[in-house]
Amino acid sequence: EAQVTQNPRYLITVTGKKLTVTCSQNMNHEYMSWYRQDPGLGLRQIYYSMNVEVTDKGDVPEGYKVSRKEKRNFPLILESPSPNQTSLYFCASSQGLGDNEQFFGPGTRLTVL
Amino acid sequence: LAKTTQPISMDSYEGQEVNITCSHNNIATNDYITWYQQFPSQGPRFIIQGYKTKVTNEVASLFIPADRKSSTLSLPRVSLSDTAVYYCLVAEAGDKIIFGKGTRLHILP
């Protein structure tokens, strides 16, 4: 089944404790991205990747890192999480940008205390 | 990248047809119009995409007038399970993808 998977689905952590949210897709898609969603603010893009070893900042990249060492994986790294990074995070993949259909993962709900 | 404007929220009743209009006055020649649906705590899901005139699939219809400055997503005979946020996106191949705040559709019994 074609899908995007994220882990963990739920995470509660404390300020400053490094964490990684994994994202994997099995559709051989070139393009992957991370979004965060907060009440009243809609979906905002954090980082995106056009292909292996190619990443770029989205609209809200501060406090996040990503890597794309393999085509299927695109982990999101929070080196020193803070409470304002409490949010619902989505990973997405598609064959390309623009008019290509985006496939989203199930989401990761992160709480930073 | 054309900016889109859609209503913040809409209410309707079960069994009704719901039309959500999206305005995109600056749409470019090669832009496609795409709609996504998002249920609470789930990722958005592609519903329908079109370039001009009318597109229909098993879920919805998309009406695009000749000037393409707006588009209307039509959901026939909605049910409670159609309560969701609906996003209108306008982009061409290679464009950055931007989700706005969408339209929060609330279906009442």
Query: What are B7-38's pLDDT values in tens digits?
Result: 999 999 999 999 999 999 999 888 899 999 99
DSSP A90: E
The whole-angstrom separation of Cα A57 and Cα A85 is 16
Whether A92 contacts chain B with CB within 8 A: yes
What φ, ψ does residue A47 adopt, rounded to 5°? -145, 160
Sign of CA dihedral B85, B88, B92, B95: negative
pLDDT, residue A81, reads 98
pLDDT, residue A84, reads 97
Contact between B4 and B22 (Cβ < 8 Å): yes
> Which of A70, A40, A37 is CA-nearest to residue A55?
A70
Q: Does pLDDT of B1 surpass 70?
A: no
The pLDDT profile of chain A, 113 residues, written as one tens digit per residue, is 889 999 999 999 999 999 999 999 999 999 999 999 998 888 899 999 999 999 999 989 999 999 999 999 999 999 999 999 999 999 999 998 777 899 999 999 999 99
Whether A10 contacts chain B with CB within 8 A: no
User: Three-state SS for B81?
Assistant: helix
Contact yes or no for B43 and A92 at CB 8 A: yes
pLDDT, residue B2, reads 65
> Per-residue pLDDT tens for B54-98?
999 999 999 999 999 999 999 999 999 999 999 999 987 777 778
